[in-house]
Homo-oligomer: A and B are copies of this chain.
Amino acid sequence: MLVWERPEPQERPAPVPLSRERIVRAAIRLADADGLDAVSLRKVATELDVRPMRLYSYIDSKDELLDLMVDAAYAEIRPTGDTWREVLRSLAESTRHTVHEHEWFADLLGGRPQLGPHALACGESVVAALDGVGLDAVMPAVGAVNAYVIGAVRREIAGQRAERATGMDEKRWQAELGPYLRRQFATGRFPALSTVVRDAAHLDADETFRIGLECLLDGIEARISR
A positions within 8 Å CB-CB of B: 107, 109-113, 115, 117, 120-121, 123-124, 127-128, 130-131, 135-136, 138-141, 143-144, 146-152, 154-155, 158-159, 161-162, 177, 180-181, 184, 189-193, 195-196, 199-201, 203, 208, 211-212, 214-220, 222-223
The contact of A216 among B135, B184, B190, B215, by CB within 8 Å, is B215
Pair B223/A218 contact, Cβ less than 8 Å: yes
Tell me the bound Cα distance from A131 to B191 in angstroms. 11
Pair B144/A212 contact, Cβ less than 8 Å: yes
**Given A196-B138, A220-B215, A151 and B120 contact (CB-CB distance below 8 Å):** no
Minimum C-beta distance from A147 to chain B (A): 4
Chain B: which residue is nearest A223 at the CB level?
B215
Pair B200/A136 contact, Cβ less than 8 Å: yes
Tell me the bound Cα distance from A127 to B141 in angstroms. 27
Tell me the bound Cα distance from A211 to B28 in angstroms. 36
Which of A113, A161, A192, A201 has its CB near the most chain B CB atoms (within 10 A)?
Answer: A192
Minimum C-beta distance from A167 to chain B (A): 15
Which of A147, A152, A190, A208 has its CB near the most chain B CB atoms (within 10 A)?
Answer: A147
Q: Would you give 19 A-B contacts (Cβ < 8 Å), ordered by A?
A: A110-B151, A110-B158, A112-B161, A113-B155, A120-B193, A127-B193, A128-B192, A138-B196, A138-B200, A139-B200, A140-B211, A146-B151, A149-B151, A214-B223, A216-B219, A217-B219, A218-B219, A218-B222, A219-B222
A123 to chain B: which residues have CB within 8 Å?
Answer: 190, 193
Chain B: which residue is nearest A159 at the CB level?
B113
The contact of A155 among B146, B177, B220, by CB within 8 Å, is B146
The contact of A148 among B111, B148, B162, B191, by CB within 8 Å, is B148
Report the 4 A-B pairs with minimum CB-CB distance, sorted nearest first. Answer: A150-B151, A144-B212, A219-B219, A110-B154
Pair A135/B196 contact, Cβ less than 8 Å: yes
Given contacts A144-B152, A146-B151, 6 further A-B contacts (CB under 8 A): A110-B155, A115-B177, A120-B189, A143-B155, A215-B220, A215-B223
